[in-house]
Structure 1
Amino acid sequence: MFLKLLFLKKMTKFGINTFLFTGSFTNDSISLFSRFKDWGFDSVEIAIDDPTVLDVQLINKGLTENGLVCGSACAAMGPGRDLRGTVEEQETAIRYLESCVALLAEINCPVLVGPLYSSVGRAAFEEKAAREEQWHTVVNHLRHLGSYAEDCGVTLAIEPLNRYETDFINTASQALELVDEIGLPSVRVHLDSYHMNIEEKYPAEAILRTGRQLAHFHACGVDRGAPGNDHTDWLKVIDALKKIDYQGDIVIESFTPDVKVIAKAASIWRTTEPSQESIARKGLDFLREQWDRR
């Protein structure tokens, strides 16, 4: 029995981000859980815009009834939420992220992921002095948030974004530098295959370099479609994850024009796959096959 439990604990889970089907996660979004389970997912990643409107009991009930776990939650760092912005934007971001962490503790969700350091879309040339000041500010805020998260049993996973979505953290090396300076076990790194395709010379090497600091991984095609239906060298990516003994979830985070608010934010102007369901099901089948064969 002990060996069986140990094996189950280490088994990588495959999840789906709710952004594929809806904008901000709401109580009504819980109805998606049954579909996710039918398609074979182990976990769900909820995209949180306003944690205060979510019913913890309903979420927990929906997860239990469908045999799922909330393996991760994705922060929505929209306008006005910026740890390196104005004083008001920094305070708003801190309150928002603290509320997200508190919610995660109540639904037994272990990790909050995303570009927690700044608003998505903020990208401009910054002078060295301004950048150093911003870096110092973000480090201090994430130390505070990381300490709070640790008390709640939650990990914060910092995601590098591509150069068109942020000017702050674009690569795994930059994320590692930030995490190392923060110096808390509750603040780690989140990598996304889409952003790595743009910013990393060799994505598999970036995974190896991140090593045990990798707390979360997003998988999608280079056009934000299904993983596997693209030119990504997925065998190298999977091999790298295996070599570092990656223990977190592998989550499909793909977008389509069907969810207008996300399509606009992520510049999804055309259809790249037959349907949202096709992305989820084919992507999951591909990832499981690649994982099991290595």
Structure 2
Amino acid sequence: MKLGMNMLLWGSHITSAHYPIFEKIKAAGFDGVEVPLFEGDVAHFTTIGKELARQGLGVTTVTCLGPESNPISPDAAVRQAGLERIQWALDCTASMNGELLAGPFHSALGVFSGNGPTTDELKHGVEVLRKAADHAEKTRVRLAIEYLNRFECYFVTTAKGMAALVDAVNHPWFRCMYDTFHAHIEEKSQGDAIATLGDRFIHVHLSENDRGTPGTGQVRWEETFKALHARDYDGWLTIEAFGRALPELAAATKVWRDLFPTADEVFQRGGQFIRSHWKSSRS
């Protein structure tokens, strides 16, 4: 497996100011970082990618969409904006030689209708995501779409729903990912959820139930790792944690209190925990 660290812990836009953090993550034994894509252009991320390559770090990326670019909107112009936003993120990922683009870009984050997804919304989502997958194939960057818990979206909130969406899009460059935080809320069994996704998932976020340091909360880590081993999973295990230092992220993630002593503890202690338990659960 490859151990990754999501840079959202330090900001929503990565710049040269984050280069020293890359160095610390590398020194802690990580194989790569996950770069958030919310602003910037290909030229900017090409520069970031060169620095990551210089430091020997691999790259994955993550993005999400807002109401102005919602792929399941009844407004065709809004859906087109969503497609273009995903295409932009794919181009930025490719500029860093990134392996995949992760995130819940199936619908707008934090937007609710008061009901579950309609037939039209499912149709719109599949159409946009299939076109996005065509662009993914051109850029050679895989899509790893993420299901969220029911407090963050309504379009797809379970492994069963995600498996159905991947099958409906039916494109080799459109796959999904698994996130322990959302599964802890929505699934009866994390092992069963991973089995339900089967060979559809290509990426994993390791996030504690309170968004703090992995291994300090209630997530069923042993069950999770054993289920991943059962699938012979050998891809990225990326830590995702959130703090309240950045107001724009704290508001989106509903983090109002300190969940860990320092950011360094998250990747240092969290990385040690993951490596140790990943190895011990292989039996």
Measured against the shorter chain, the TM-score band is: over 0.9
8 Å CA contact retained: 1:83, 1:138: yes
1:35-54 equivalent positions in 2, closer than 5 A? 35-52=24-41
Residue number in structure 2 paired with 1:9:
none
Report the CA distance between 1:166 and its aligned residue: 0.3
SS for the counterpart of 1:250 is: strand
8 Å CA contact retained: 1:47, 1:74: yes
Report the CA distance between 1:87 and its aligned residue: 2.8
SS for the counterpart of 2:118 is: helix
How far apart in 2 are the matches of 1:51 and 1:169?
A: 28
Check if 1:184 corresponds to 2:199: no
Check if 1:200 corresponds to 2:200: no
How far apart in 1 are the matches of 2:215 and 2:123?
A: 39
Structure 1 stretch displaced more, 237-246 or 34-43: 34-43
How far apart in 2 are the matches of 1:215 and 1:100?
A: 18
Check if 1:292 corresponds to 2:279: yes
SS for the counterpart of 2:161 is: helix
Residue number in structure 1 paired with 2:72:
84
Q: Percent identity?
A: 30
1:12-23 equivalent positions in 2, closer than 5 A? 12-23=1-12
How far apart in 2 are the matches of 1:286 and 1:52?
A: 36
Q: What residue identity is the alignment partner of 2:6?
A: N
Q: Deviations over 1:124-176 (max 9, x none)?
A: 3237xx71101001101111110110122111111110101001100011011
Show structure 1 runs of 5+ residues with no match: 1-11
Residue number in structure 1 paired with 2:152:
165
How far apart in 1 are the matches of 2:212 and 2:242?
A: 7
Residue number in structure 2 paired with 1:116:
105
8 Å CA contact retained: 2:42, 2:95: no
Q: Deviations over 1:164-189 (max 9, x none)?
A: 10011000110110000111111111
TM-score scaled by structure 1? Answer: 0.91
Q: Deviations over 1:234-259 (max 9, x none)?
A: 11100000110113200001001112
Q: Deviations over 1:199-250 (max 9, x none)?
A: 0110111012212111111001100001100122211100000110113200
8 Å CA contact retained: 1:51, 1:99: no
8 Å CA contact retained: 1:26, 1:54: no
1:64-103 equivalent positions in 2, closer than 5 A? 64-70=53-59, 72-85=60-73, 86-103=75-92
Report the CA distance between 1:23 and its aligned residue: 2.1
TM-score scaled by structure 2? Answer: 0.94
SS for the counterpart of 2:69 is: coil
SS for the counterpart of 1:45 is: strand
1:54–1:270 distance in 2 versus 1, CA, 3 Å: farther
How far apart in 2 are the matches of 1:64 and 1:137?
A: 38
Residue number in structure 2 paired with 1:220:
207
Counterpart pick for 1:256 among 237, 243, 247: 243
Structure 1 stretch displaced more, 164-173 or 19-28: 19-28
How far apart in 2 are the matches of 1:228 and 1:56?
A: 32
How far apart in 1 are the matches of 2:191 and 2:107?
A: 26
SS for the counterpart of 2:273 is: helix
SS for the counterpart of 2:30 is: coil
SS for the counterpart of 1:99 is: helix
8 Å CA contact retained: 2:66, 2:108: yes
Q: What residue identity is the alignment partner of 2:70?
A: D
Deviating beyond 4 angstroms after TM superposition, the runs of 4 or more aligned structure 1 residues are none
Residue number in structure 1 paired with 2:115:
126
RMSD: 1.6
